[in-house]
Amino acid sequence: MSRLFPSRPLFSDAEHALSALDFVAIVGPTASGKSALALALAESIGAEIVSCDSQHVYRRLDIGTAKPTLDDRVRVPHHLIDVCSPTEQLSAGDFVRMADAALADIRHRGKRAVVVGGTGLWLRALVFGMIEVPESSPEVRERLERALEAEGKAALFERLRAIDPIAAERIDAHNSVRVVRALELFELTGERPSALWERHAFRTPRHHARTFGLSPPRERLYARIDARTRQMFDTGLLDEARALLDEGLGNAAALQRAIGYPQALAHLAGELSLEAAIETTARATRRYAKRQWTWFKAERQVEWLDAHELAPALDELVQRLATPTRRA
């Protein structure tokens, strides 16, 4: 066995513990190394990976979303990648239905599953079920959509921040779909969305899982984000964005929400210099990583790993699996 992997006896203990789980989940902010850790773990135990990333579901959005490479997907089978068009919108409920089907299929074939991703709302929905909230109100939604068009994203986000600062910390100011839904929930229930989420966290899990988190020191994480952003632009993000634009997908909602593509399109339109596009993308990604960190730190089931590099993190994860649940 490669030195990357823990010793065989400890791995046997971990494999025994894995037999009682529906899946192991690995979470953390973007660029924290969770995908590499999930790949190493899955490869070492013969598992398959279920992606829990709200951007990886979209076909053609590859470089800007840091999607697993084709080589990675040959090494370990991946599920819920490239499952819809950038013109479609996949909800948390859609994800849960698809993930449940993938997990059932993996289990039916006698395999184990590793769920990995940074979309915290989706993982919570998978483990605990969908939050019980009122259905969307056409009247309220239409009024908020008109306010969005008249006042702009920033004004609507400030309205949310005034109502619920905790929710505003967890939601991207540019994600108008989630901002509008949070404001709609407040109007329909009279409760802050973050309070609804908090109550939901105490529900009985619908899957037996253990969730492990990676949280490198902020300076190291930001350095990784900056380096990865520049590499994306160096290795074809502009070409990818240009091809999507040529196909009439420049205004697709998924493209506008995915960090990197709006900046690349702005550069192609002559609105941003290349250096400004890179820096703006890196800055937006750092803000996104901070929101992910805030979300996952509030999730009680996450067991945070002390190690941050691949080999020691894998060692520690396997040791944790081989022992009773440890809360951070």
Scanning 164-301, the segments in alpha helix (DSSP H) are 165-170, 176-189, 193-200, 218-234, 237-246, 253-257, 261-268, 274-297
Domain end: 170, 199, 228, which one? 199
293 and 187 in one domain? no
pLDDT of residue 1: 36
Q: Could you tell me if residue 66 is inside a domain?
A: yes
197-237 tens-digit pLDDT: 777 665 789 999 999 999 999 999 999 999 999 999 999 99
301 and 182 in one domain? no
Rounded to an integer, what distance in angstroms lies between the CA atom of residue 251 and that of residue 213? 34
234-256 tens-digit pLDDT: 999 999 999 999 999 999 989 98
The yes-or-no verdict on residue 67 having pLDDT over 60 is: yes
152 and 105 in one domain? no
State how beta strands 47-51 and 112-116 pair.
Answer: parallel
pLDDT of residue 174: 78
Q: What CATH number has the domain bearing residue 266?
A: 3.40.50.300
**At which residue do the structure tokens 């550069």 appear?**
267
pLDDT tier for residue 17 given thresholds of 50, 70 and 90: confident
Q: Could you tell me if residue 328 is inside a domain?
A: no
109 and 44 in one domain? yes
pLDDT of residue 279: 98
What residues make up the domain containing 248? 8-129+203-321
26-40 tens-digit pLDDT: 999 999 999 999 999
88 and 13 in one domain? yes
Q: Supply the pTM of this predicted model.
A: 0.82
Q: Could you tell me if residue 58 is inside a domain?
A: yes
Mean pLDDT over 305-326 rounds to 88
**Helix, strand, or coil (residue 209):** strand
For the chain, how many structural domains are there in total?
2
Scanning 19-137, the segments in alpha helix (DSSP H) are 34-45, 70-75, 92-108, 120-128
- DSSP letter at 298? T
CA distances from 136 to 123, 176, 235, 281 (A): 22, 15, 41, 32
Q: Could you tell me if residue 81 is inside a domain?
A: yes
pLDDT tier for residue 186 given thresholds of 50, 70 and 90: confident
| Closest-CA residue to 264 (of 58, 61, 59) | 61
Least confident span in 66-80, 170-184, 252-266, 300-314: 170-184
Greatest alpha-carbon pair distance for the chain in Å reads 63
118 and 31 in one domain? yes
187 and 310 in one domain? no
Q: Could you tell me if residue 260 is inside a domain?
A: yes
Q: Could you tell me if residue 192 is inside a domain?
A: yes
257, 174 Cβ separation under 8 angstroms: yes
306 and 189 in one domain? no
100, 148 Cβ separation under 8 angstroms: no
pLDDT of residue 11: 59
- DSSP letter at 251? T
38, 313 Cβ separation under 8 angstroms: no
CA distances from 293 to 29, 40, 290, 304 (A): 6, 23, 5, 11
Q: Could you tell me if residue 3 is inside a domain?
A: no
270 and 222 in one domain? yes
263 and 220 in one domain? yes
The helix (run of H) or strand (run of E) holding residue 23 is strand 23-27
94-139 tens-digit pLDDT: 999 999 999 999 999 999 999 999 999 999 999 999 877 777 788 8
pLDDT of residue 12: 62
Domain end: 179, 199, 219, which one? 199
More confident site: 10 or 174: 174
CA distances from 118 to 28, 69, 122, 162, 308 (A): 6, 17, 9, 26, 16
241 and 124 in one domain? yes
Write down the number of H helices and E strands in the chain: 16, 6
pLDDT of residue 98: 98
Domain end: 199, 227, 247, which one? 199
pLDDT of residue 3: 42
Q: Could you tell me if residue 176 is inside a domain?
A: yes
Rounded to an integer, what distance in angstroms lies between the CA atom of residue 113 and that of residue 92? 19
Which of 5-9, 70-74, 131-135, 148-152 shows the highest mean pLDDT?
70-74
154 and 299 in one domain? no
